[in-house]
Homo-oligomer: A and B are copies of this chain.
Amino acid sequence: MDLARSPLALPFPQMPEISGVTLRVARARYKDWDRADLTFAEFSEGTVVAGVFTRSACPSSEVELGRENVKSGHARALVVNAGNSNAFTGYRGREAVEQIMDQVALGIGCAREQVLVSSTGVIGVPLPKDKARAGIESVLGAEGCSWEDAANTIATTDTFAKGATASAMVGGKRVEISAIVKGSGMIAPDMATMLGYIFTDAAITPEFLQQLLSAANRQTFSCITVDSDTSTSDTVLAFATGKAGNAPLASFEDAGADAFAAALHDVCRQLSHLVVRDGEGASKFIEIRISGAVSDESAHRIGMSIANSPLVKTAIAGQDANWGRVVMAVGKAGEPADRDRLSIGFGGTWAARDGQPLADYDETPVAEHLVGTDITIEVDIGLGDGAATVWTCDLTHGYIDINADYRS
């Protein structure tokens, strides 16, 4: 099935090289296709790593081993297989990952725990060890490639290559961040899933990098949803080579830590939005802003309840300012809410305030807003100071086409 490029796609950005990072791709032919499907990133000695992974109770071996390996805080290589998720494949799946770790460790001279592996694609088929072995051999001898090549190679059913970049001044040194991501949110056909990789030349301790990545993740990747289905392979890894030469960052006390944290957050936000923009069947990018909840956590849960509501998502697809469906989604969130204090708006225009439709509600500006591709929904719970912003896409016939109208 050939998927049309998302109408919400953005062009691939100009991204700086990151000193200490070499990218290469190869054809392992995990599926019957003629494209690069194995991505390899090699890191200079001393590169620091942090990661966040799916909270699925049934993760892939890649996720289990990746979670272990990240604990060491250091990495020398990343391998990403496309076309086979190796999930739900038992001990044979795990053996394939361990084989890749061993082969790369031997090839570049590092500990096997310093090799991170990800796989996405069809599930239930153990990653073929022979193809993996030949692919790794090929990629170790390959020329370097561009960010866009790498972004295309980690993709499976994505309709456009996704990258983001940012920089920060850290103690007088300019630090660069370049990052790529694949996926259509928590969900894509055949369980292809979200993978994100962030590369920086900053010098930073693994503990602080993990702290910053986890914090950014909570407000970016954890705030997006395409259809509420959480994958078994979701992974975001950050690698820091230290080549920028800044005094290593270890805490927010250090000069430039705030600037670096802001840049990392900005890259995570960009990546997460790109995933939503490639959401299956998406025709609208929807930002949902919650205020007045009893806490930020409560606001987040209310926001996700709205973002995951099929009724809200189909209403936006139909350009329908159906605030009643938003009320419904607030009500079902399991969080404190008071119908008679609730206010709901679209694109900056209130449709209902304090639990009632506005007497002088003029739908014209709302209708104009909903014709566009970038939609905002504002919800004021009216109870406290808790706030959150989450992002999703609409639910259209395209989603059914992709997920129901063909056999995977």
Which one of A310, A336, A394 has the greatest number of beta carbons of chain B within 10 Å? A310
Known: A232-B327, A324-B123. A399 touches B339 (CB 8 A): no
When distances are taken between beta carbons in the complex, the residues of chain B under 8 Å from A324 are 87-88, 122-124, 190-191
- A46-62 toward B: CB 8 Å interface, digit per residue (1/0)? 00000000111111000
| Interface residue tally on A, bucketed by range | 35 or more
Q: Which residues of B contact A54 (CB under 8 A)?
A: 331
* Cβ-based interface call for A311 (8 A): yes
Could you say which residues of chain B place their CB within 8 Å of the CB of A403? Answer: 310-311, 314-315, 318
A331 lies within 8 A of B57 (CB): yes
Q: Are B89 and A356 in contact (CB under 8 A)?
A: yes
Is A211 in contact with chain B by the CB < 8 A criterion?
no
**Counting CB contacts under 8 A, is A320 at the interface?**
yes
Could you say which residues of chain B place their CB within 8 Å of the CB of A325? 191, 229
**With A124-B352, A337-B58 in contact, do A327 and B404 touch (Cβ < 8 Å)?**
no
Q: Cα distance A56–B330 when bound, in Å?
A: 8
Interface flags for A305-322 (1: CB within 8 Å of B; 0: not) read 000111100110111101
Contact with B along A172-188 (1 / 0, CB 8 A): 00000000000000010
How far is the CB of A310 from the nearest CB of chain B, in Å?
5
> Residue A239 at the B interface, CB < 8 A?
no
- Residues of A352-367 whose CB lies within 8 A of B: 352, 354-357
Residues of B within 8 A of A230 (CB): 328, 331-332
**Is the beta-carbon distance between A88 and B310 smaller than 8 angstroms?**
no
CA distance A211 to B354 in the complex (A): 36
**A58-B330, A123-B327, A404-B317 given as contacts; is B311 within 8 A of A229 (CB)?**
yes
A6 at the interface (CB under 8 A from B): no
A333 is an interface residue with CB less than 8 A from chain B: yes
CB nearest to A323 among chain B residues: B124
Query: Which residue numbers of A lie inside 8 Å of B, CB to CB?
Result: 54-59, 87-90, 92, 122-125, 187, 190-191, 227-232, 308-311, 314-315, 317-320, 322-325, 327-340, 342, 352, 354-357, 394-397, 399-400, 403-408
Those 3 A-B pairs whose CB atoms lie nearest each other, nearest first? A58-B331, A56-B331, A314-B403
